[in-house]
Amino acid sequence: MHHFFFLSLQPPPLPPQGPPAAVSNAGAVVPAGPMMPYNYNVYEPVQPHWFYCKQVESKSVWFPLSLIDSLQLEETVISNVVVRTDGGRYDVQLYDRIRTAVYWEEEPTEVRRCTWFYKGDKDSRFVPYSEEFSEKLEAEYKKAISTNQWHRRLEFPSGETIVMHNPKVIVQFQPSSVPDEWGTTQDGQTRPRVVKRGIDDDHDELPTVDHLVFMVHGIGPVCDLRFRSMIECVDDFRSASLKLLHSHFKKPLDEHAISRVEFLPVQWHTALHGDATGVDRIKKITLPSTGRLRHFTNETLLDVLFYNSPTYCQTIMDTVAQEINRLYALFMKRNPDYRGAISVAGHSLGKIESASSPF
């Protein structure tokens, strides 16, 4: 018997082919050319921002005004006008560069149109240069940008030495040290100051008010353990209120359903201890021993005794009422269209005075 084996010979499989190419009406593919190099020699003017100087613990500290206030001052910088700032709590005389309080007594503070800053020696705050010196720095910066020439040492008649390494690295050396063209000092002991052009952050405050609160303080001329004044504590209260608006009421704030709360301090202690009331006659019989303790007693603890006195209790009540009425009249004069709510808040003895005052 014969056995047959059948072997099927098939051609090898062809390699897999992709789908047919789609028909395109586009033209031929042209290779992309090299990217255009970025021109780093384009000068952009610096955006000024307005600051005010304030004494904090016997030190001069510069604080930025809000973006709205800064833009408003910038628009009228060449005019001799008075501009309202800080929600109307302060007025700025542009010609004199002075900022004055509206609702309370306070020393006028300096305002400055700031473009260039240096970092202080003792803290991390940036301190603005004078307007005249900033204009000189801006002119040198523009020259360096336009010519692309850096590592330049700039010596000024006032003794400052500025070294511009590049647009982001600029330092100042003290008059006592003399750096070479690369910015290194011979003695190696003087640390250069960091120089900054312009500011990064916006410090804004809502322009409109829908709730006015009068804050009545308690006993004594100071309001916390840091011995700060009523004005400083109310400023912190106002800042905390703005932060809460953005963190807890963002949706109604974005929908313009609510706006900010304005807090105004009601100060009665100064009026009570003035010459008109005769209260401070007690200073004449105060013993000189343990002066600080007796001064604290006269300024603070006696307010409780005065409130319990039939004579001075009425004086305190009248003073609180008159001060609230004065603040209210001044606020309405500056905000004649205000139709929002009005409240009175008090701390310590101020709570009792707020409930009892016939304003």
Supply φ then ψ for residue 138, to 5 degrees.
-65, -40
Phi and psi at 50, nearest 5°, equal -95, 135
Question: Per the residue annotation, which of 229, 241, 309, 348 is the catalytic one?
Answer: 348
Q: Is 71 helix (H, G, I), strand (E, B) or coil?
A: helix
Which residue in 282, 318, 285 sits closest to 298, CA to CA?
Answer: 282
């940036």: which residue's tokens?
126
Report angle CA 191, 175, 56 to the nearest 5 degrees: 70
CA-based end-to-end distance of the chain: 132
Distance of alpha carbon 273 from alpha carbon 277, whole angstroms: 7
Q: Computed over its alpha carbons, how large is the radius of gyration of the chain?
A: 34
Q: Which spans in the chain are helix H?
A: 67-75, 131-147, 230-248, 250-254, 269-272, 291-296, 302-308, 310-334, 349-356
Contact 212, 343 (CB under 8 A): yes
Q: Count the alpha carbons within 13 Å of 316 in the hemisphere toward its beta carbon.
A: 27
Is 259 a catalytic site residue?
A: no
- Active-site residue set: 348
